[in-house]
Structure 1
Amino acid sequence: MERDSPKLPSIEPAILEWHDGQPVSARFGDVYFSRDDGLEEARHVFLRHNQLPERFARLQGGDTLVVAETGFGTGLNFLATWQSFRERAPAGAMLHFVSVERYPLTSDDLRQTLSLWPELAPLADELCQQYPPLVAGSHRLVLDSGRVRLTLYFGDGLEALEDLAFNADAWFLDGFAPACNPGIWQDRVMEQVRRHSRPGATLSTFTAVGRIRRTLAEAGFQMQCVAGFGHKREMLRGELPTEAGTVCNRPDSVLVVGAGVAGSLLARNLADRGLSVVVADQGDRPGAGASGNAQGALYAKLGVQLNDQTRLSLAALLHAQRYYPLNTPGVWHGTGLLMMGSSDQERQRQQKFLRQNEYPASVLTPVSAGQARTLTGVACPHGGLWFPGSGWLEPSRLCATLLDHPRIRTEFGFRASRLLPCNNRWCLSGEARQDLVADAVVIAAGHETRKLMPVLGEFRMKPIRGQVTALPVDSLSETPKAVIAGSRYLNPPMDGMAVTGATFDLHDADPRVRLSSDKENMAGLNDMIPGMVTSDDAPSSASSRVSFRCTTHDYQPIAGPMVNGEGRVLEAAWLFTGLGSKGLMWAPLLAEYLADCLTGHPAALPRSLARRVDPKRCLAKPVSSDTRGELA
C-alpha cells in the first residue's frame, strides 16, 4: 500500500482501510484505537494513568499544563484530554498539547473518524476547522478561545523531538504497536522523551514491552506495569522523581513599544494569556505608522529551495491564514491571491518552483491566464500561482480591533526618549509624560526600534521608504475581485478606492507624498496588467501614503531576546521588528512565538526556524567588553 514519496513540503498521508466501521492503518496493519471503545481506552491508558483529571482540577488561574504525545493519529487522545480539561480546569488555566505524526490523516479522514464519537463533536469540529494542510513541519493551532494550544508536528518523530522546544508534564507514548512501527519506539526517541520532561513528569503507554520499560527506567523514570484496557492485560506507566527545578518567572506586566500590526498582535496575545499589557506609541492612534495603510495583502513569495527560510515563510503564511478569519473577521477579506508571473524571470522562477516542490492545492495551485481571469475578474496577461487561503486586510482597523481588550492599556502620543532597567523592571521615559514601568519590555517600533535599544553596537537594520497609491475605481479598466501581486500589487476596492504599490526607495528618508512615486506605481501596474490604469493623471495626494518599513540585512524578521553590543542577552527585554513589507504575514506566528517565550510555554517555532529570527544574528560587529556605558 506504499506510494511514491511526494516532493516536499507535502507529506504522505495515512492510508486507511475501514473494517466494520473502524479505521485501520494499511501501512502498519494495526488499529488506531481499541475496537471495544476507543474513547474509553484513551481515558484509561492516557488520562487516568497520568492522573490528568486530578491535575487539571488542581490548576490555578494562569497555570499551564503541558502534555506531549508521540503519535497524533486520529486526534482522539487529544480530544479526550481537551474534554477533561474543559470539565475540570479553572478559568484562566491553559492546556498545551504537543504531538507528532509521520503519516497524518487527511482532513476528510479525520472528520469521518472523529464522527464516531458524537459527544466530542463540538471539539472535533473546531479541530477540523483549523486542521492544517498536509505540509511537513510544525503547526500551531490555538483553540477554545486560547485556553488550549496544539503544537502539531508533521514529520519524523525523532527529528521533531530534536527540533521542538518544550518541557512536558505528562507523556502519551502512542503510535501503533512496537512490532508494527519500531521507529517511534527506538531508544533515541525515549531519550528525547526524558530530555523534554520536567521533574515530576509522568508517562503512560498501552505497550508493556520489556525493552521499552528498561529504556525508560534507565532514563530515570520509575516504571510500573499496571492493568491494561480490554484484551490487553498490562500496560506501562512511569514518573520522574520530583526535584527542585528552575521556576519560569512569567512576567505579570509587559510594556510593548509600538502599536502597529506587530505590537498589537503581541499585546493581544499576551493579554489573552492573562498578562497586563501597556502599549506605547508616538502616534495618535493604532497603526499610525507603517501599519496605517488602508489595505494590505496577505502573501508570501515562497522560495524555490525548501530551506529553513522557505519553511519559516510557509509556516507564517499558514498560521496567518488560520488566525485572521477566526480572530479578526471584521477586517479580513478572504478573496484569494494571485502571484502572477509578471515577468520572464518570475515565470521561469515559478516553473522551477513547481518542478522542485509539491504543495497541497489548499495552499497553492498553478493557474493559466484564463483561470487567473476567472479568479480575479481581471484580464491577466499571464497565469501564476493561486493562493486560495490568502486575501487582504485593513491594517489600521486590525490594530484597533486587537488593542480593544480589558487587560491592554494604550498610551498614544508617547514620544519615548529613554529605556532603562530599574529595580529589576524596565522603565520607559517619554517627553512630558509619566514614566511607564513593567516587568518586561518588547520593542516593536519598526524602523524606530534601534533608537530605543539601550545598547551600543551596530545592528543591521534599515528603513526603506514605500509609497502606496489609492486609485479610484473609475480609473481602472476592470475591478479586481481578488488580490493580484507581481511587480506591483492591486487590491480589490474598498470605499471606491483600490490600493496599489508600493515603491521601494532605498536610502530615501523623505516622508512626503510625491507625485513621482504615484506615477511610478501607476506605470508599474500598467506594466504588470497593460491598460489597467485608464488615466495618466495621478490621483489626489490625499489618496497616497508614505511609510517606512524596517528590514534587516538578510530580509528576515527579528523576534527574540534583545542582546547588547557584545551579544549578551538582556534580561526581560525583547525585540519584534524587521518585518519589512510582509508584516501581515509574519506577525501572527511571531507574536505567538514571542508570547510563548515570555510565558515559558512550548515554542511555536522549532529551534531550526527560531534561529532565523534571532536578534543576535543582526549584530554586525561586537563592541569591546570594556566599552563604558554599555548595559550588561
Structure 2
Amino acid sequence: MNNPSLLPPAIEPADLLWRDGVPESQQFGDVYFSRDDGLEETRYVFLQHNRLAERFANVEPGQAFVVAESGFGTGLNFLATWQQWRASNPPRGAVLHFVSVERFPLTASDLAKAHQLWPELAELASTLQSSYPALVQGCHRLVLDGGQVRLTLFFGDALDGWQQLNFQADAWFLDGFAPALNPDLWVDDVVEAVRRHSRPGTTVATFTAVGRVRRALMAAGFAMQKVPGFGRKRDMLAGTFRPDPAQSTASGGHPAAVTLIGAGIAGCLLARNLAERGINVTVVDAGNGPATAASGNRQGALYVKLGVEHNDQTRLALSALQFAQRCYRPYKDQGWHPCGVLQLADNEREQERQAKFLQRNHYPESLTRPVSAAEASQLAGIPLQSPGLWFPASGWLYPAEVCRQALEHPAIQCRFDVAVKRIERQADHWRLVTAEGWQHQTQALVLCGGHLSGQLLPEGLHSRFKTIRGQVTLLEENTLSAPNTVICGSRYLNPACQGQSLTGATFDLHDDTPSLSASSQQENLKALETMLPGILKQPADQFGALSGRVGFRCTTHDYQPVAGKVVTGQAATDDTAGGLYLLTGLGSKGLAYAPLLAEHLADCLTNQPRALPAPLQFRIRPERCVTPADH
C-alpha cells in the first residue's frame, strides 16, 4: 500500500472544500447541510418529523431513547438533538443514545471550523470536540453530560456498522449525501438493516423524496408519506415502522437494582455507571474499603500493548485505551495523572516487534508515535538508551482514589468487611451467604471479584480462570532518577509520588504467597536496572528492606477479559442462571480495560445500545471461560 495513512487502523478523513464557510465533500460533490440555515434544516427535517420535542418530554426515569443516524458528518444533527434533549429536562437516569456511522469522518480541526457556524451550540460543540475520537476504524463510545448522553460513533462503511452494532432505534435520521451522489448509503441491504434495528413505532425522517428510497422503506415495513421539504426543497419523507405483528419482538426491560461483589476498579466503575443510569447499586466487598485487592497499588500505569496485526485483540485493546483516557479525565490531579507513557524497545526482540508494528500500521499521533532515544530522554527527563513508542494521552492512576470518588453517588450503597461465602439461586433472585451471617437477595448479580470470582460461581459451573501473583516495589525518590513520564518495558516505572516511585511487577504464575518476598524485590530491581541502565543510584543488591505490595491478578486461558451474562444451559437462549454476570479476567491491564467493559456490561444490564461491536462482544463472552462442570 503506497499511502501509509491508509494502513490500519487509520481511516480516510473527509476531503473538504469550503465555500462561504460551508463545507462540501470532495468525495461526493455535495454540501453537508443547507446553505440557507443548516441548523433549522436539521430541526425541521429530523427533530420535528420524528416528534422529538414531544417524545423527549414524555421520557420516564431510567428510560433510554435511541436515535440512529446514517452519516455523522459535522455532528450538527447530534448537537441539535442533544440541545433538544437538554431542553426537555430529562428525569433521573434517563439516557439519550445517539448511534451514527461515518465512512469519511471529519478531522478535529474541520469539525471545530464547521461548528463556528452555530454560536448557540458553542458549549455542546466544545464538549463534543474535546471528546471527539482519533480517526481510527471501528466503534467509539463517548459518554457526555454525566452519562445522560451517550454517542456511539462507528467509523467505517455504513453496512458494516449496522451489521456489527447492537441497538434498537426509537427514531432514525436517514441523512448522508443525496442518493444519486452516494448510492452505497441507500442500498437495499442498508434499508434492511434499518428495519432490523427498529421496533414497532420507530419513526424515520429523511431529506430525500426519491421514489426508490420510499418504496424500499415501505417494503421494509415503514408506513411512509411525502411531506413538504425544507426551504427550496419541495418534498421529503417521514414515516413510522409498522411491522407484521408476527415479526415483532418485545424489547426487554432492566432490573431496578443490581448487586456487585468486588470493589476494585472494575466494580467501582460499573457501580457508578449503573447509578448514573438510574439503577440502585449495592457493592459488597471483604475489604475495609474500595481497592484493597489487585486495584490497591499506589500507582498503576494506563497502557496496553497494541498488536503488530490489527486483529480483534488489538481492536479491543485500542478501544479500551481510548475509552479509559476519556473516562479518567474528570479525575485529573485527583487520582489521574496524564503524564504520557513511553513503551521502550529495550531489547532486540521488542525492537523488532515495534519495527513491524510501525511498518504494518498507521496510528494518529494523538494516540501513539515512534520516538528516538534522544526524544524519549527529553520526554522522560532522564537519559534513556532505547527508542520506543510515545502515548501522549496516557499516564498513571491512583486506583483507590478513583474508586473512592466513583462510589460517591446517592444510588450506591457499600457493604465493606463482608466476605461472601457462596451464592445461591432461589426462584427469580440470587441469595448471597456471607461469613458474617449477613444475607442479601438481588435480582441481578455481577461478580467483579478478580481472582476470587471463579470460586463464587454456583455449583455445577467450571471456570478457566488463572491467578497470577504480582509484587511491586516502592523506591524512595533519592535512590533513583525518577522520570517525568511512565516508562514501560520488561517492567514499568512511574514518576515520583509523595517521595516514592513504584516499579514492578513480578509475574508469578505458581506462587500464592501473600506476603512480600525479598527475592521478588530483587527481581524487580534487577529487571529495572536492565531496562534502564544507571537508573538506580546504587547496585540492586545493596538495597536493604524495601516496601511494596503483593496483588493477585485474574486472567483467562486466552488472556482476554470476560464481561457478560453467564449462560449455563446448552442453548444460547437458556436463562436458567437468571441475572448472573461476570466482569473479571482483566489481568495486568485492569486500569485500561475496566472503564470500557464496565460501560459494555452496564449496556447489557440496562438493555441499552452496546458500546462494543459484535466481534468484540464475542471475544469477551463468558462462555469461553465458564462452562457446566460435566463439559
Into which bin does the TM-score normalised by the smaller protein fall?
A: over 0.9
1:72 deviation in Å?
0.2
Cα gap change, 1:329 to 1:438, in 2 (>3 Å): farther
1:419 deviation in Å?
0.6
Structure 2 counterpart SS, 1:563: coil
Residue matched to 1:524: 527
For residues 543-572 of structure 1, what are the alpha-carbon distances to aligned partners after superposition, in whole Å with 9 as ceiling and x for unaligned? 210010000001000000113385755221
Residue matched to 1:173: 174
| Matched letter for residue 74 of structure 1 | T
Residue matched to 1:393: 397
| Matched letter for residue 510 of structure 1 | T
For residues 560-607 of structure 1, what are the alpha-carbon distances to aligned partners after superposition, in whole Å with 9 as ceiling and x for unaligned? 011338575522110000000000000000000000000011000011
Distance 1:30 1:507 in 2: 63
Structure 1 counterpart SS, 2:495: coil
Residue matched to 2:96: 95
User: Is 1:593 aligned to 2:596, yes or no?
Assistant: no
Cα gap change, 1:3 to 1:383, in 2 (>3 Å): closer
Residue matched to 1:629: none
Residue matched to 1:184: 185
The runs of 5 or more residues in structure 1 that have no matched partner are 625-632
Distance 1:16 1:422 in 2: 60
| Matched letter for residue 69 of structure 2 | E
Distance 2:264 2:542 in 1: 28
Residue matched to 2:512: 509
| Matched letter for residue 120 of structure 1 | L
1:245 deviation in Å?
4.5
For residues 452-501 of structure 1, what are the alpha-carbon distances to aligned partners after superposition, in whole Å with 9 as ceiling and x for unaligned? 0104243211100000001111110x220000000000000101100000
Structure 2 counterpart SS, 1:512: coil
Residue matched to 2:552: 548
Structure 2 counterpart SS, 1:604: coil
Equivalent pair of 1:467/1:501 in contact (CA under 8 Å): yes
Distance 2:389 2:51 in 1: 49
| Matched letter for residue 225 of structure 1 | K
1:288 deviation in Å?
0.4
Distance 1:4 1:34 in 2: 35
Distance 1:149 1:455 in 2: 38
| Matched letter for residue 179 of structure 2 | P
Residue matched to 2:438: 434
The runs of 5 or more residues in structure 2 that have no matched partner are none
Distance 1:4 1:537 in 2: 47
| Matched letter for residue 519 of structure 1 | Q
1:533 deviation in Å?
1.5
Given candidates 576, 586, 600, the residue that maps to 1:579 is 586
Given candidates 368, 372, 375, the residue that maps to 2:376 is 372
TM alignment of 1:393-412, pairs within 5 A: 393-412=397-416
Residue matched to 2:214: 213
1:537 deviation in Å?
5.1
Equivalent pair of 1:266/1:591 in contact (CA under 8 Å): yes
Question: CA RMSD, aligned part only?
Answer: 1.6
TM alignment of 1:390-539, pairs within 5 A: 390-476=394-480, 478-535=481-538, 536=540
Residue matched to 2:298: 294
Equivalent pair of 2:266/2:594 in contact (CA under 8 Å): yes
Answer with 559-568 or 426-435: which moved more.
Answer: 559-568
Structure 1 counterpart SS, 2:49: helix
TM alignment of 1:70-89, pairs within 5 A: 70-89=70-89
| Matched letter for residue 180 of structure 1 | L
User: Is 1:316 aligned to 2:317, yes or no?
Assistant: no
Equivalent pair of 1:455/1:565 in contact (CA under 8 Å): no
Structure 2 counterpart SS, 1:330: coil
Taking structure 1 as the reference length, what is the TM-score of the superposition?
0.96
The count of aligned residue pairs is 622
| Matched letter for residue 279 of structure 2 | L
Cα gap change, 1:15 to 1:4, in 2 (>3 Å): farther
Residue matched to 1:105: 106
1:541 deviation in Å?
5.3
1:619 deviation in Å?
3.7
Equivalent pair of 2:131/2:142 in contact (CA under 8 Å): yes
Given candidates 601, 618, 621, the residue that maps to 1:611 is 618
| Matched letter for residue 71 of structure 1 | G
Residue matched to 1:627: none
Taking structure 2 as the reference length, what is the TM-score of the superposition?
0.96
Residue matched to 1:340: 344
1:399 deviation in Å?
1.2
1:189 deviation in Å?
0.4
1:64 deviation in Å?
1.2
| Matched letter for residue 368 of structure 1 | S
Equivalent pair of 2:338/2:396 in contact (CA under 8 Å): yes
Equivalent pair of 1:456/1:565 in contact (CA under 8 Å): no
Structure 2 counterpart SS, 1:254: strand
Distance 1:540 1:218 in 2: 78
Cα gap change, 1:457 to 1:64, in 2 (>3 Å): closer
1:144 deviation in Å?
1.1
TM alignment of 1:137-216, pairs within 5 A: 137-216=138-217
Residue matched to 1:59: 59
Distance 2:198 2:206 in 1: 16
For residues 164-221 of structure 1, what are the alpha-carbon distances to aligned partners after superposition, in whole Å with 9 as ceiling and x for unaligned? 0000000000110011111111110000000000111010100011111111100000
Distance 1:432 1:383 in 2: 54
Residue matched to 2:68: 68
| Matched letter for residue 599 of structure 1 | T
1:622 deviation in Å?
5.7
Equivalent pair of 1:489/1:500 in contact (CA under 8 Å): yes
Residue matched to 1:14: 14
Distance 1:112 1:539 in 2: 57
Cα gap change, 1:45 to 1:565, in 2 (>3 Å): closer
Equivalent pair of 1:260/1:289 in contact (CA under 8 Å): yes
| Matched letter for residue 596 of structure 2 | L
| Matched letter for residue 28 of structure 1 | F
| Matched letter for residue 227 of structure 2 | V
Residue matched to 1:276: 280
Residue matched to 2:263: 259
Identity of aligned pairs, percent? 54
For residues 133-156 of structure 1, what are the alpha-carbon distances to aligned partners after superposition, in whole Å with 9 as ceiling and x for unaligned? 001000000011111000001000
1:397 deviation in Å?
1.4
Equivalent pair of 1:414/1:433 in contact (CA under 8 Å): no
| Matched letter for residue 198 of structure 2 | S
1:620 deviation in Å?
6.3
Distance 1:523 1:53 in 2: 64
Distance 1:462 1:566 in 2: 24
Distance 2:354 2:4 in 1: 24
Structure 1 counterpart SS, 2:83: helix
Structure 1 counterpart SS, 2:578: strand
Equivalent pair of 2:59/2:91 in contact (CA under 8 Å): no
Distance 2:508 2:387 in 1: 28
| Matched letter for residue 11 of structure 1 | I
Cα gap change, 1:3 to 1:289, in 2 (>3 Å): closer
Distance 1:521 1:621 in 2: 40
Structure 1 counterpart SS, 2:334: helix
Structure 2 counterpart SS, 1:61: coil
